[in-house]
C-alpha cells in the first residue's frame, strides 16, 4: 500500500518541487530586472546632471561674453540658463537623495533658475541688466564651475570603480551614511561647499519667491486662547463656547496660530476644524467636510449662498472669479473688488455642499496675508488701446480691470478679458500700462458663467 502510495506521490512532489524552483527563478529574474532598470535610471539621471551643470557653467560664460548692449543675446543666454537649471533640478529629483543633505545645492540651482527666468521675461531694452545683476552672473559663473568640477570628480569615481546607485539607496535606507561610499561622500562635499558660499546679492524679485508667509506680516495684537475661542464661537453661531477645544501651534516661532475644534454631527469625523492667526486673530481656514450624497443645488444658487456667507462674516465686496465641483461639492473662489478693480491678490475660497447649499469649507490665507491698503495707479491705456494686443479671432464677452501678480511677482493692473477663440473660453490679462499679455488662462463654461 505504502509502495503504491509512494509511486503516486513521488511524481506529484517532484513536479511541485520543479514548479517551485521555476517560480523562484522567475521571481528572482523579475526582481533583478527591476533592480537593473532602477540602476540604469539612476545612472542616466546622475550623468545627465553632471552634463547639465557643466553646460550651465558654459552657458553662463557665453552670456557674460556678449556685448553689454546686445539685449537679444542676453535674453537668449538667460533663457538657456533657466532651461538648463530646470533640467538639472529635475535630474536631482530622480536620484535617491531624499535622506542625503543636498538641499543647499538644490536651493542654489532653484535661485539661479529664478534669477535667469525673471531677468529674461522682462523687456531688457527698457530695463537692461544693472551692475549688480552682472556681478551676480559673474559669481554664479564661478560657483557653477566649482560645482561642475566636484560632480565630474564623483563621475570619474563612479565610472572607474563601476559604483552602483542601488548601494547608495541601500546605505541611505539603512542609515549607513558614514560608510565608505564615494557617491555619498562626493554629494555631501558638494553640498557643504555650496553652503559655504558667501551670500549672493539676488534681486528682490528673486527673493520674493522664497519669502514664507509668517505672522510678522500681519497687523494687530496677539490674542489669547480664550479670545480665539470667542471668535470661533461667534463665527459658528455658538452661544456657549465651552464645547470648543483650542490648541496653540508653533509657540515661540514666526508661525504661531491656534487650531479650534468643535463637535458637529454629520461631518467626516464629527468635528468642525478652524485655524486662526495668533497675531490679529484672523481666520485662516475652516473645514466642516462631510459626505454629500447627491446634487440638488445649481451653480448660481451655490455662488449666491457662498457670497451671502462671506458677507455675513465680514468679507465685504467680494466677487466670484472661479468655479469647479468635485464629489457634489462646489469650490468657488472670490476676490475683493474695489473701485471696479478685481483684486486677485485678496482671495477667499469657499466650499459649498450641493445637496443643501451649506458652506462646508473656507480657505482665507491669501486674503489674510495679502490684504492691505494699496495705491493702484490709473490705467495708462484705455480699453480700446489694450484690446489691440488681443488676437483678431478672440471674441470678447466681458472686460474688467484686475490687479494680479505676474510671473515675476510684480503687482500689475490689467484689463481682464473673458472671451472665446478656437472653440475654447479664455481669460486674458493685458497690462494696463504696457499692453503686454501678462497671463492667459483657459477656463470652463461653469467658471465663465459664475463670473457673470
Cα separation values, 104 from 100, 110, 189, Å: 11, 10, 11
What is residue 38's predicted lDDT score, i.e. its pLDDT? Answer: 72
Q: Residues in the chain, how many?
A: 452
Secondary structure E strands in 241-358: 245-249, 257-263, 271-277, 283-287, 318-326, 329-338, 341-353
Q: Which helix (H) or strand (E) holds 443?
A: strand 437-443
Strand partners, 260: 246, 274
What is residue 417's predicted lDDT score, i.e. its pLDDT? Answer: 96
What is residue 301's predicted lDDT score, i.e. its pLDDT? Answer: 92
Sign of dihedral through CA atoms 134, 136, 138, 141? negative
Q: Cell 447627491: give the residue.
A: 294
| Residue 412: how many other CB atoms lie within 10 Å | 19
Kindly give the pairing relationship between strand 424-431 and strand 318-326.
Answer: unpaired
Q: Is the pTM of this model over 0.75?
A: no
Cα separation values, 116 from 60, 93, 110, 123, 156, Å: 10, 20, 10, 13, 30
Q: Cell 481669460: give the residue.
A: 427
The percent of the chain in helix, strand and coil, each rounded to the nearest 5, is 45, 20, 30
What is residue 250's predicted lDDT score, i.e. its pLDDT? Answer: 80
What is residue 176's predicted lDDT score, i.e. its pLDDT? Answer: 54
Nearest to 80 by CA among 139, 140, 120: 120
What is residue 333's predicted lDDT score, i.e. its pLDDT? Answer: 95
Question: Which domains are seen in the chain, by residue range?
Answer: 25-208 (no CATH), 221-370 (3.30.310.160), 383-450 (3.10.450)
> pLDDT tens digits, the chain, 452 residues: what are they?
555 555 656 566 656 666 665 555 555 555 555 567 777 788 888 888 889 999 999 999 888 887 767 778 888 888 899 999 988 888 888 887 766 677 788 888 888 888 888 888 777 777 788 888 888 888 888 989 988 888 888 888 887 777 777 777 676 666 654 455 777 778 888 888 888 887 776 665 555 555 566 677 788 788 899 999 999 999 998 888 888 899 988 877 777 889 999 988 888 888 999 999 999 899 999 999 999 999 999 999 999 999 999 999 999 899 999 999 888 999 999 999 988 899 999 999 999 999 999 999 999 998 998 888 888 888 999 999 999 999 999 999 999 999 998 877 788 999 999 999 988 999 999 999 989 899 999 988 888 887 77
Amino acid at each position: 500500500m505504502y509502495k503504491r502510495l509512494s509511486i503516486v506521490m513521488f511524481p506529484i512532489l517532484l513536479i511541485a518541487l520543479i514548479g517551485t524552483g521555476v517560480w523562484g527563478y522567475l521571481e528572482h529574474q523579475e526582481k533583478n530586472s527591476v533592480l537593473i532598470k532602477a540602476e540604469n535610471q539612476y545612472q542616466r539621471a546622475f550623468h545627465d546632471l553632471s552634463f547639465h551643470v557643466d553646460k550651465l557653467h558654459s552657458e553662463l560664460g557665453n552670456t557674460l561674453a556678449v556685448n553689454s548692449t546686445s539685449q537679444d543675446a542676453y535674453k537668449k543666454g538667460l533663457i538657456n540658463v533657466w532651461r538648463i537649471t530646470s533640467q538639472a533640478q529635475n535630474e536631482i529629483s530622480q536620484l535617491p537623495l531624499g535622506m542625503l543633505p543636498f538641499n543647499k545645492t538644490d536651493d542654489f540651482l532653484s535661485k539661479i533658475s529664478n534669477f535667469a527666468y525673471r531677468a529674461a521675461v522682462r523687456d531688457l531694452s527698457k530695463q537692461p541688466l544693472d551692475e549688480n545683476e552682472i556681478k551676480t552672473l559673474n559669481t554664479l559663473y564661478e560657483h557653477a564651475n566649482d560645482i561642475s568640477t566636484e560632480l565630474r570628480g564623483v563621475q570619474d569615481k563612479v565610472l572607474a570603480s563601476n559604483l552602483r546607485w542601488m548601494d547608495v539607496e541601500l546605505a541611505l535606507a539603512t542609515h549607513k551614511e558614514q560608510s565608505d561610499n564615494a557617491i555619498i561622500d562626493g554629494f555631501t562635499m558638494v553640498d557643504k561647499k555650496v553652503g559655504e558660499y558667501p551670500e549672493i546679492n539676488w534681486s528682490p524679485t528673486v527673493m520674493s519667491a522664497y519669502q514664507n508667509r509668517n505672522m510678522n506680516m500681519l497687523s494687530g495684537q496677539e490674542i489669547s486662547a480664550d479670545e480665539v475661542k470667542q471668535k470661533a464661537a461667534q463665527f459658528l453661531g455658538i452661544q456657549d463656547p465651552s464645547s470648543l477645544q483650542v490648541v496653540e501651534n508653533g509657540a515661540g516661532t514666526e508661525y504661531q496660530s491656534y487650531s479650534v475644534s468643535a463637535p458637529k454631527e454629520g461631518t467626516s469625523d464629527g468635528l468642525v476644524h478652524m485655524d486662526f492667526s495668533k497675531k490679529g486673530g484672523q481666520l485662516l481656514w475652516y473645514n466642516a467636510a462631510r459626505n454629500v450624497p447627491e446634487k440638488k443645488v445649481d451653480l448660481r444658487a451655490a455662488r449666491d449662498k457662498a457670497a451671502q456667507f462671506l458677507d455675513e462674516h465680514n468679507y465685504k465686496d467680494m466677487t466670484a472669479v472661479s468655479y469647479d465641483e468635485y464629489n457634489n461639492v462646489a469650490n468657488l473662489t472670490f476676490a475683493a473688488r474695489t473701485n471696479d478693480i478685481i483684486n486677485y491678490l485678496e482671495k477667499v475660497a469657499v466650499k459649498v455642499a450641493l445637496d443643501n447649499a451649506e458652506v462646508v469649507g473656507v480657505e482665507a490665507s491669501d486674503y489674510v496675508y495679502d490684504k492691505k491698503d494699496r495705491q493702484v495707479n490709473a490705467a495708462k491705456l484705455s480699453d480700446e488701446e489694450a484690446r489691440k494686443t488681443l488676437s483678431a479671432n478672440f471674441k470678447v464677452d466681458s472686460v474688467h480691470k484686475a490687479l494680479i501678480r505676474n510671473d515675476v511677482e510684480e503687482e500689475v493692473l490689467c484689463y481682464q478679458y473673458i472671451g472665446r477663440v478656437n472653440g475654447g473660453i479664455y481669460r486674458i490679462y493685458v497690462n494696463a500700462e504696457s499692453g503686454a499679455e501678462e497671463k492667459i488662462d483657459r477656463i470652463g463654461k461653469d467658471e465663465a458663467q459664475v463670473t457673470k
